[in-house]
A and B are shown apart, each in its own frame.
Chain A
Amino acid sequence: MRPGSFFRHVHDALSPFRWGISITVAILVAVGFAGLSVGMRAQSDRQLLLGISPYLATLVESQDRPEILRVLQSIAESRSSQAVLVQDEVVLASTRSISEMDQTFQEPRRDYSALGFHFAEGFLLTRETVSRQGGPELSAKVVLLTPLRPVLVGALGISLAALLVSLAIAYLSGYKMRAAIRKALLPVGQLQREIAALSSGHLGSTDPIPVRELEEIRKAIHAAKSELENTKERLAEERAKKLSAASYKRLIHDLHNPIVALRQWVTVLLDSSNEEEVIREAAERVPKVAEQILNQVSAAKKNLESESAALREGDIRSCLETSVRIAQEGYFAANGKRVDVVLPDTPVVVPHDPVLLQRAVVNLLENGLEACRSTVRVSLNQREGFTSVAVSDDGQGIEETYLSRCLQGQGESSKGGRQALGLSSANHIVRSHGGKIIYRTSELGGAEFEIRLGAL
């Protein structure tokens, strides 16, 4: 599901209530109006019959049906009802049908009562005894049958009108509601902007958010940000310490054999009992071993002098593109060698220090360009659990035994007798990222150094 905006979410959440309230109001108005109409009509009918009853009684006493009919017709026409006058359960006069006069009164079927109202066959029934003060007992009643349909149609009309008004109010209130939602969401927007600014490294607004909960979130985010940075610094320090310790350990380990060898050669040299041939060889070997020890110490010193890595999330593609540009500018433009770059189309986000990693990649690229015949290839791949940056060339490749010496800083550069410290430095930088460098023979025929970053 495609996520929508917070505004839309709030708006959609409120809409059912808005329409529901409109419809509910319309229904309540309709029911109320219908009840009120029926009640008022029943009351009005009853009062009318009560008022006319003494006169009807006089007419019943004289059995003046024509006059009773005139009165009933007048009532029926003015009230849009039907009127029946019954005496001893026989219809004396009726506006419903001429045929029912002088016949037994047929009580409406399915007569039922509610709240003091009587209903039957779609009519509101109002019955009243016909009598007058001081008059004889007539056993007569007048029944007024008022059709419910007009009342209910009126109620329906009112309810429709109420619905329309409610909908119009709901529609208009929609505008207000949207504005209110937007206004209510301003603090959220402020928080959103601050978070965005924080993620891009900016400080963002320092204005307080006028919503307590959001302000607390904002403060919590800022606190978390500070804490995170402190933690990162502490982690970096700890990692640097670990790397230093590891470097010292490696240096100690790497120096152990040369020093042992130096001690043996010095022992041989000092032992006069040895043959001259042997002593002369020892004399030649001692300076070389001492030189090797000094080289290793120099490389270790240089690595230790490097700043510790400041890792941050970022697209590693830009780092590689910069590295290729620097290496090309510095080396192969005059030699006609080319660098093939194979990068994915989508960002490859990896925690890394762009400056250091760039230096490591440039070192590997310079080595490749130095060793290749014509082509160096840089490829970036997202593997399962790690990110791979491979630098391959089509040169002669490196012997495995020489490789380890190079990684330890014992190698020798082909460029004017320089020490081969580039590979050792790259190895150190990758390790400071928590990664490692793997060597293998390249598909191009030369060497391939793969930098693996991420979980190992």
Chain B
Amino acid sequence: MIRLSAWISGVICGALLLASGAVLCQAAVTPSTYLKPVYSLPLTLDPIKMNDTASLVVANLLYDGLLRFSPTLKLEGALAETWKTSADGKVLTFTLKKNARFHDGTAISANDVVVSLRRAVGRESQVRKYYESIKGAQEFAKSGNSASLGLRALDERTVEIRLRHPFPPFLSILAGATAKVLPAAKLAKKNFFSAPIGSGPFRFIRKKATPAKEIVLSRFEGYLSGTPAIETLIIRETDEAEATRLATEGLAHDLANFPLSATKPVFQKGRRITSPVSATWIIGLNAKLPPFDQKSVRQAFRAAVDTEGFRQKFFPDAIPAYGYVPPGIAGYRRTPTDTRKPGNPVKDKIRLVIPKELENHGAMKEFLEASLTGWNVEVATLPWDELMNGYVGKTHQAFLVSMNMDYPDAEFLLQNFVSSNPDNFSGLFDPGIDALLKKVRAERDRGRRNKLYEDAIRLIDDAAVTVNLFHPRANYWVSPCVKGFTPNILADVYIDYRSVALKPECGEKRAAR
């Protein structure tokens, strides 16, 4: 799965609200209300349909899975108390924590886990590709027959997952934001996801559209891993400018959902917590549409883009990208390789779309058009939803997006280039890549896995379906009134709000429309 970066969406509703004459005001509230602006409210609260950062942020607050990531990606038990892997790596057995309960107080059973993961491999799942290594997953997706599916509740607290082949990153997938456990008995209820019940650190209270688009969460007093310090957590949709204003006026508590440059003035009013994140900004090239259906054109276009100039102009603290894989992940390239193959520009019209919500979208358009001399390039700025529609429908020739990761393995990113993957945004079809990535899934030896990754990356580089702009570095604005905020090196989605608290000496304000 890919997710488009947080910064490139979500201001639409805020803009509409402003246009409708809503005004900002502030009022005193009881302490411990935490305001977290996001670029967009979740498009869905169903974990198996999540394909955007905002949804995943809320999913991690509402739901728990079997495992979770620590800030440095150590695997920790969430609902699972213990787990073990069989000697052949094909059977994973999890024992649930005693007294694990959903927000409504019902006990969490092994059956809840089986049903939730079965949904993830089902026909309606949009994250099915993560779970395809589960034995019988593909058959289940086709036929709906779960008889041969490798998911089984051995008893009330024990779950067994059988895999088709050993797949080392599978534990990381289970720690991801889509592998959440839901109450099996309640899932059939109509509109379950209008007021979902999970077992995460926060309970869903309500979603409202006015005066602001917000989701209100309340801490789960019976949370197994300790009651969070924040009593009420408000997720509010707003654009970057408005979020910055809220932060400047001391109304917001963090801007982790927004891609901020280290030099933004808002940091003078709060703390800047910087962290690496596993992401790459790219210009995706659609190999299905001319002129990028020609590899030589893609290679020439890639060579023509001034990626370093772009990075230095707009995100100077980011890391130069010499490949698709971000730092800290197998396959990352630390030095440039001679993959650039300059060629002559083609005369075909090329339409490159970039998100309109980007604060510097105008400057970016000017930069790209000016730097691509000789190319017939038009940079268009599109609203986020239009861009996403074209992305999913593969109607854009070229598009600027940020590729984030859900689990820390190159396999996650490289799946984007598997021909059978619906999220193959470039439409690339390369049997060599398909074969390598199929092989890599079953390879348990770290050295051989890395070699397969490198081979695949070489092919992907040669295919030139991405112009790798840079690897971003997160600059989180955090209010001086907040303590316990720890970034996660995978993505802001995995920031652990259980440990975040408001300093008692800070007065609290609430921004309301």
Contact = CB atoms under 8 A, between A and B. Distances in A.
Interface of A: 58, 61-67, 69-70, 73, 87-88, 92-93, 95, 98-99, 101-103
B436 to A, nearest CB: 16
B456 to A, nearest CB: 13
B35 interface: no
B319 interface: yes
B276 A102 contact: yes
Given A63-B330, A99-B275, A69 B73 contact: yes
A65 B408 contact: yes
A65 B408 CA distance: 9
A88 B329 CA distance: 17
Given A61-B450, A66-B408, A73 B274 contact: no
Contacts of B319: 102
Contacts of A102: 276, 319, 327-328, 473
A64 B329 contact: yes
A354 B447 CA distance: 120
Given A98-B71, A98-B487, A63 B329 contact: yes
Interface centre among B71, B72, B408, B453 (most CB of A within 10 A): B72
Contacts of B167: none
Nearest to A99: B274
Interface centre among A64, A70, A92, A93 (most CB of B within 10 A): A64
A88 B453 CA distance: 23
Contact of A62 (B73, B330, B489): B330
Interface string B465-494: 000000001000000000000111100000
Given A70-B74, A73-B74, A101 B330 contact: no
A69 B330 contact: no
B276 A66 contact: no
Contact of A95 (B72, B327, B487): B72
A63 B334 contact: yes
Interface residues of B, number: 28
Interface of B: 71-74, 172, 273-276, 319, 325, 327-332, 334, 408, 446-447, 450, 453, 473, 486-489
Nearest to A67: B446
A65 B487 contact: no
B327 A65 contact: yes
Interface centre among A58, A95, A98 (most CB of B within 10 A): A98
A396 B488 CA distance: 130
A98 B486 contact: yes
B168 to A, nearest CB: 10
Contacts of A58: 446-447
28 contacts: A58-B446, A58-B447, A62-B446, A62-B447, A63-B325, A63-B329, A64-B328, A64-B329, A64-B446, A65-B73, A66-B72, A66-B73, A69-B73, A69-B74, A70-B72, A87-B334, A92-B328, A95-B72, A98-B71, A98-B275, A98-B486, A98-B487, A98-B489, A99-B275, A99-B487, A101-B489, A102-B319, A102-B328
A101 B276 contact: yes
A93 B71 CA distance: 12
A61 B455 CA distance: 15
Contacts of A62: 330-331, 446-447, 450, 453
Interface centre among B74, B334, B473 (most CB of A within 10 A): B334
A63 B72 contact: no
A98 B496 CA distance: 14
B328 A93 contact: yes
Nearest to B71: A98
Nearest to B486: A98
Contacts of A73: 72, 74
A99 B474 CA distance: 9
Given A65-B327, A65-B489, A92-B328, A98 B334 contact: no
Contacts of A64: 328-330, 446, 450
A109 B230 CA distance: 38
A65 B275 contact: no
A128 B510 CA distance: 52
A314 B52 CA distance: 120
Interface centre among A58, A63, A69 (most CB of B within 10 A): A63
A95 B72 CA distance: 8
A93 B328 CA distance: 8
B207 to A, nearest CB: 32
Nearest to A72: B72
A61 to B, nearest CB: 7
Contacts of B73: 65-66, 69-70
A98 B72 CA distance: 7
Nearest to A55: B446
A164 B328 CA distance: 53
Contact of A65 (B74, B328, B473): B328
Nearest to A59: B446
Contacts of B276: 98, 101-102
Nearest to A65: B328
A101 B450 contact: no
A282 to B, nearest CB: 141
Contacts of B273: 99
Interface centre among B172, B328, B447 (most CB of A within 10 A): B328
A369 B337 CA distance: 143
A63 B330 CA distance: 5
Nearest to B275: A98
Nearest to A100: B274
